[in-house]
Amino acid sequence: MTLPRALGKFNRYATNQVAGLVAGRAPGFGIVVHRGRKSGRVYRTPVTVFERDGGYRIALTYGTGVDWLKNVLAAGDFELEVRGKVVEMTNPVVHHDPSAGWAPAPVRLVLQTISATDYVQAQPA
């Protein structure tokens, strides 16, 4: 069971505003910058992200049904603000890994506890 959708809604309007201030610079965090599929509006979503295999992996702590993921997959590209820089990303692909073996050990334990078994892998453009 990933994190509840109600928590996601709360985070979208409250926590994300604060997290967005540091997420693009703090280790293990980033901001996905994407456009709405229908509105064309630009959105900024704080995420848990790790560099791996020449690309970046983003934990899907709320599962695969989140709007930002739908937007990114539909567009095929997005921007990722990580460690104080903006990286153009392409070819996002969702992967399933029940062991969360792609994440650092302390994070892996949290991801396993909340059953966040999916992640997005994307490469710099």
Q: Three-state DSSP class for 98?
A: coil
Using CB atoms within 10 Å of the CB of residue 121, give its burial: 0 to 12 exposed, 13 to 18 middle, 19+ buried.
middle
Q: What is the CATH number of domain 23-124?
A: 2.30.110.10
The token pair at 82 is 């990580």
Q: Contact, 42 vs 81, CB < 8 A?
A: no
| Residue 77 phi, psi dihedral angles, 5° rounding | -155, 165
Rounded Cα distance, 119 and 20, in Å: 20
Q: What pTM does this model have?
A: 0.81
What are the structural domain ranges in the chain? Answer: 23-124
Name beta bridge partners: 48: 29
How do residues 46-97 score in pLDDT, each as one tens digit?
999 999 989 999 999 999 999 999 999 999 999 999 999 999 999 999 999 9
How do residues 98-111 score in pLDDT, each as one tens digit?
999 999 998 999 99
